[in-house]
Structures are given as C-alpha cells and as structure tokens.
Amino acid sequence: MADAMQFDLVSPERALSSLKARAVQIPGSEGDMTAMPNHAPTITTLRPGLLSVTTDAGDEEHYFVTGGFAEITAEGTTVLAERAYTKDSEGKRAMETHLEEAKKAAEEAQAEHKDAANKLVADFVHLLDQMA
C-alpha cells in the first residue's frame, strides 16, 4: 500500500502546487472529503473553501479555492480550480475583491438566481473567516 500520492493544484493563471502528499482535504460541492493514496476513482465539483494538503513529510499546506473540479485516483489527486490562492495576505486581498464582486452580482441577480448568488456570497464570507 502506497504511503503517498501525487498532488497537483492548477488554476487558469498558474500551477500552484505539485508534490507528494499523504492526504488532501477537499471542499466538495456535496460535502468535504479526504483523498488518500489508493482512493477509489472519483471526480467531484468544488465549492468555495479551504483545501488542505498533508505532504509526504507531514507538513500542512493550505489553499483557498473558489470552485472547480477534483479528480481523485489511486495514484493521485488533481485539483483544477477556478481560482486558487495561498493562505496569506495577498490571497486574502484577492478573496475580499471576489466577495465584493459576488455581493454586487447578488444585488443584480434575477429572482431565479438570487438564492445561488446569495449562497456564493455566504461561501466567500465563510472562506474569509477561515483566512483570519
């Protein structure tokens, strides 16, 4: 049984991480999940949230994602994020900008899209709380 798997985090702007990992905690749209070596093949969509990686050395790395997809196999996990940021002041500023954009879009949303727009705002607020 493998002790580590390949982990890759990619956003449209750049590749953020590529390393050996013991576990990856994923903010799935259907709920949080943890991918580990020898995981059953799975593809899931992501909601805005904290993505945590336990490296092969036992260190923790944290990233914030605004959405996207994760592909999990027995050999590794690949996250294709809409947007992804490291847990630092630059990432927090970027998320604050996204929150303001989401609030504006929620105010302008048509009735049938209002609930989804407000949920996105709530997700971003929760994400910013986790960044503190």
Give the pLDDT confidence of 9-62 residue by residue, as tens digits: 999 888 999 999 999 999 999 999 999 999 999 999 999 888 999 999 999 999
Q: Which residues contact 79 (CB under 8 A, 6 or more apart)?
A: 7, 8, 9, 10, 24, 26, 46, 51, 65, 68, 69, 70
Q: Distance of CA 74 to CAs 13, 44, 77, 109, Å?
A: 27, 15, 8, 41
Tell me what the pLDDT averaged over the chain comes to.
89
3-class DSSP state of 25: strand
The pTM score is 0.81
What the block records as the tokens of 33 is: 């999940």
Q: What is the pLDDT of residue 132?
A: 67
Give percent of the chain with pLDDT exceeding 70.
Answer: 97
